[in-house]
Structures are given as C-alpha cells and as structure tokens.
Chains A and B, each alone.
Chain A
Amino acid sequence: MARECKVLVMSNIPPSSIVERLDALYEYDREPVSEDKLYGWKTFIAMFSSEHIAGTEFILGPLLVMHGVTAFDVFVGLAVGNLLAVLSWALMCAPIAVRERLTIYWQIRRLAGPYLTVLYSGLFAIVLCLLAGAMVNVSTTAVANVAGVESPNFLNDDQIPSLAWIAIAVAVGVVVALLAVLGFEQLAHFAKVAAPWMPCVFLAGGLASLASLGVERPSDFWAVANEKIWTGVAQEGQIQYGFGHCVGLAWLCNISQHMGMADVTIFRYAKKWQMGFSSAFGMFLGHYMAWICSGIMCAAFTVAETAAGVEKPNVNPGNIAMFSAGYAGLVCVVLAGWTTANPTLYRAGLAFQVATPNWRRWAVTLFAGAVMIVAACIPAVNYYLDRIVAYYGLFFMPLGAFIFIDYWVFPRLGLIPYFAEHKRLLWSWPAAVGWLGSFTICFLLYAKDQYPMFEWLNSVLPEFLANYHADFFLQVLPAWLIAVLLYTVCSFLQQAGSRRELPSGEHP
C-alpha cells in the first residue's frame, strides 16, 4: 500500500511533447523498486570498485603533480576529500534512496517539475559528451603511442592535434559510438571483467616508477615524494594548488552522484542505507590509490624525459602508462577510457533524445558520439579536466540538495515537500532560483578574481565579499548552503501565496 502511494501521478499535467517523450524514456522505472529486487553489500562494493577506476584517473593524478601540491596535501587532503565523499553518499544519498526507491529523474521531477527536469537532462547530456570525449582522448593517446603518432602536448602550445592523431581519435570514437548504438550489455560485461585488473596495473606501475625515481627502500619514500613527485611547486603556466584543492577535488569530482543525489538511482536497490559506505571502495581505490599511483608515474616519466634532454615532456596517459607498465599499461589506458566512455555516451544519447523530436535512438547516439569525438580532439578538455569536473559538479549539485531538503527539512518547517508534484506545476520557480542562483553567485565570486571582465564586482560588493577569494574547489559548502537557503526562502514565499489562494479551511 505504501508503495502504491509513492507511485507518481502526473497525468493531469498539460500535454507537452518534450515532457511526454522524457517520461516515456523513464517509464519503466517510474515505480519504486520492489523488495524482491534488492541487493546486498557485495553488489555495491563490486559496483563502486569497478566504476571509479576510469581513464580520467590517468589525467587527474598527474594534474595534481603539475599544479604543485605537496605529498602531505595529496595523502591527507585526498583522504579527507574522499572521506567526505563517502560520508555524503552514506548519510545524504543512500538514506533517501532506500526510503523512496525512485530514480534521480523522478525525484527531480517531483520537486522541480517537468520543464526543469528537461533542462537538467539536456545540460547533463552535454557534460556527459565532454566527459566521454576526455575518456576517448585517453584511449587515443595509448593507440597513438602504439601507432607511433605523437599525441598533442598542450604545455607545448599544441592547441590542435595532428591529422594522424585526429584520425585515430575518430576511429576510437566511432567504435565507442557504434557500440553504444548497438547496446552496451556485452561491453558492460567486459568492463566488469577488466575492473579488478586495472587497480593492479595502477599499483604495479606506481611501484615500478618509484624504483626509477630512486626509492630503494620504504624509508626513502617520503623524501623522494616531496623532492621529485609532489614538490609543492607548480609547473610553468599552472595555478598553484594546495591542501584545500586536494580535499575539494576529491569531494567535488563525484558530487553530482552523492550530494547531487544521482546515485539514488543505484542505491534504490540497496537493502539498507548503510550500504552507502560501500562507496569507500570506489573512492579509496580509484580516487586515492589510482590518483597517487598515476601521480608517481607522471613524475617518473617527467624526470626520465627531462634527464634525456626533453624541455617540455609530453605528459599524457599513453606515454606515462607505457613508461610505467609497458604494453599492459597501454591496454589498461585503452580499457579505462573505452569501458567508461561507452556507458557515458549511452546515457548522453538517452538524455539528448528528449530534445530531438522523432529522431531514432541510434541517430541521437551517433549525434552525441560526434560531439564526443570533437571534444576528444580538443587537448584543452583534458588539460582543464579538473576545472570542468568542478564546474559540472557545482552546477548539478543544487537539485540534489533540494531533494535532501524536501525530504528531511520541509516537513519540519511546515512546508509541503515535492510541491511541484503536489500542485502539478510545470516548473518550480524556487528550484530554478535556488539552482541557477547558487551557481551564478559561486561563479561570480570566483570570476571576480580570475577574469578581468568581472573585476568590477570587487568595487560594488560589500568589503567582506570583495576580500573573499574563492576557488572553485573550495565552494562545495557555500554552494550547497546558498542553494538550500534560496530554495527554502522562495518555497516559503511560494507556499504562502498558494495558501492565500485556497478557500478558507482547505489545506493544500
């Protein structure tokens, strides 16, 4: 009975083709997951362990090295950031997931209305194409290494790759797109098979690289780590990162999944909310061990190349994996990029489908694949991947924050949760103000110190805000607080207005 009550009723919403198409896509998971389809710890541990070792780990670890963090920043900062991420999954995402047992799509639909959900899906699709492009780029560096084609070196001002490299990227991208069109069940199986092996390659590559950096015994490690790997000095042209950036990056990079609640779609199958802690296996294997090991590999490659007289070593996943683990390393790079690019592209195609009337799924997925291939051919995408991840995390997080507030806080404040569903609204203006307002405020606080065109803000802002020098990685809590504050205040206004419109004695 309780489950039946949770089934969403939106049939009175005025007909709107884009909304109907989107609903139709997610129709099959419109009802809460039933008790007989729940899973235990083993499933979630395996899932998180396999999904968080991706091609991008070969980029983010080296980026921390190039941005000049110290060994303490990496070991302690990443531990703190990953712990915060695990706690966010376990204490924010999983408890709501097991109580509601609905996908993120329906959760957002209930509180924000169908129009904002369509906007969310469309923008999310674009970001997914960029991320899939970054993963194809990673795989291409490995294939190019074998083919003897030099990958673009962004540090050396290679803004556009060579024609030969582009041809390889297109070939890799076409394979990924075709597999996504054909359905990725077989590839999903292969990704599951590859998952336990990939962390072993990262670990072995890291250990082998330590030897080439001059670490002969464990007691040498800390000194070498500070002198040759995480030196505390940013490379030329890179912004200096520190402890806070490590914490922020580890916490932010999956924020759309935990604080942004996207993983309610996964945890709705969990028997208990405590299974949210299984995310620790993904974080501490993929975003701790793998980032540390890929950082070590990057430093070893850079030291070796510099010793060989190369002025600006071409640090890319293919080169560092070949240097650290040979052909097995190259296979790992190809698989890490390929197996994660495929489901990412599939999801992007699904999200794009709503905005392309009468297009067939294969055509939409190929279109998303074309966007992905273009992104893969832009070296700047991977060079600024940490920033892209931060932007996308902060942009999509607020809607998840609203799910949390609607569920836990609104009833205590006397507000009606899921008001858009309750009133059958096409869009929730408090959600729009909270979502876009939070991101805009955080962006402007960052941009006023970063971009000349926004410097004028310092002269009009109150002194305490003008003196606040924000970095995108350090904006998680401010963004969350601003989003929920705006959303709650606007919801008070909206629901107070709604009560006035009702006849006396009738409560909404």
Chain B
Amino acid sequence: MTRHLETLMKTIAMLGLALSVGAGFSVFTGAISHDTYNLLMVLGMLMWFGSAVFWIKAKPLGEQS
C-alpha cells in the first residue's frame, strides 16, 4: 500500500470513529432522530472496518523485527 493510500485509509477510519461518537452526541442533543443515529452508527462501523483492516498490523509480542 502506498503512503498516500495509507493516509487516506487512516483518515476514513478516524472519520468513522468520529461519526460513531458524533452520532451519539447528536441524538443526545436532539439534533437527529434515533433512527438516523442507528443508520450513522452502521455507516461509522463500515467506514472503520473497511479501512482500518488495511493499516492496523498484527504484531504479537516477541515477534518484532
């Protein structure tokens, strides 16, 4: 994966997390309905998993290079 693509993936992932928490805040303040909140939560989840899986590396203890 190129550096630019990795940056893009990280950005999408962080936006996914922000969207998830932001949706919670928004329904708390009454800015959005509960149905919209549920939809945004799913969207945030897809954004996170769809991008984080490419740049978060598995590196068990004791196996560092």
- Please, how many angstroms separate the alpha-carbon atoms of A29 and B63 in the complex? 13
Interface centre among A194, A212, A266 (most CB of B within 10 A): A194
Residue A415 is within 8 A (CB to CB) of chain B in the complex: no
Complex interface: chain A residues within 8 A of B52 (CB)? 193, 196-197
| Chain A residue with Cβ nearest B60 | A188
Complex partner residue of A328 from B27, B38, B62, CB under 8 angstroms: B38
- For A198-218 the 0/1 string (1 means CB < 8 A from B) is 001101111110111001100
CB <8 Å contact, A207 and B25: yes
A47–chain B nearest beta-carbon distance, Å: 8
Q: What's the minimum C-beta distance from A300 to chain B, rounded to whole angstroms? A: 11
Do B58 and A189 touch across chains, with their CB atoms under 8 A apart? yes
From A196, which residue of chain B is reached at the shortest CB distance?
Answer: B17
Chain A residue contacts of B58, Cβ below 8 A: 185-186, 188-189, 192
A211 touching B28, Cβ below 8 Å: yes
- In this complex, the interface size class of chain B, counting residues with CB under 8 Å from chain A, is 20 to 34
The residues of B that contact A210 with a CB separation of less than 8 Å are 28
Is B49 a contact partner of A204 (Cβ separation < 8 A)? no
Distance (Å) between the CB of A110 and the closest chain B CB? Answer: 21
Given known A-B contacts A193-B49, A215-B28, A208 and B60 have beta carbons under 8 A apart: no
Contacts of A206 in B (CB 8 A): 24
**A197-B17, A197-B20 given; A204·B41 CB < 8 A:** yes
**Does A95 sit at the interface, judged by CB under 8 A?**
no
B41 adjacent to A325 (CB under 8 Å): yes
B contact residues around A205 at 8 Å (CB): 24
B28, A331: Cβ atoms closer than 8 Å: no
Is the C-beta of A43 less than 8 angstroms from some C-beta in chain B? Answer: yes
Interfacial residues of chain B within 11-59, with CB under 8 A of chain A in the complex = 16-17, 20-21, 23-25, 27-28, 30, 34, 37-39, 41-42, 44-45, 48-49, 52-53, 56-58
* Complex Cα–Cα for A216 and B30 (A): 8
Tell me whether B61 is interfacial, beta carbon within 8 Å.
yes
Task: Indicate which residue in B20, B25, B39, B53 contacts A193 across the interface (CB closer than 8 Å).
Answer: B53
Question: Any chain B CB within 8 A of the CB of A269?
Answer: yes
- Distance in angstroms from A380 CB to nearest chain B CB is 32
Q: Give the residue name and chain of the B residue nearest to A326 (CB).
A: B38
Task: Contact check, A326 vs B24: say whether CB atoms are below 8 A apart.
Answer: no
Chain B proximity of A197: nearest CB distance (Å): 5
Alpha-carbon separation in the docked complex, A200 to B19 (Å): 9
The interface residues of chain A lying within 8 Å CB-to-CB of B64 are 37, 39
Known: A192-B56, A200-B21, A206-B24. A327 touches B42 (CB 8 A): yes
Chain A residues with CB under 8 Å of B38's CB are 325-328
CB of A329 within 8 Å of the partner chain: yes
Task: Please give the residue numbers on chain B whose beta carbons come within 8 Å of chain A beta carbons, in ascending order.
Answer: 16-17, 20-21, 23-25, 27-28, 30, 34, 37-39, 41-42, 44-45, 48-49, 52-53, 56-58, 60-62, 64
Q: 8 pairs across A/B with beta carbons < 8 Å? A: A192-B56, A197-B52, A201-B20, A205-B24, A208-B27, A208-B37, A216-B30, A329-B41
Q: Which 5 A-B pairs have the closest CB atoms?
A: A204-B24, A326-B38, A189-B58, A328-B41, A207-B24
Q: A residues within 8 Å of B by Cβ?
A: 29, 33, 37, 39, 43, 47, 185-186, 188-190, 192-194, 196-197, 200-201, 203-208, 210-212, 215-216, 266, 269, 325-329, 331
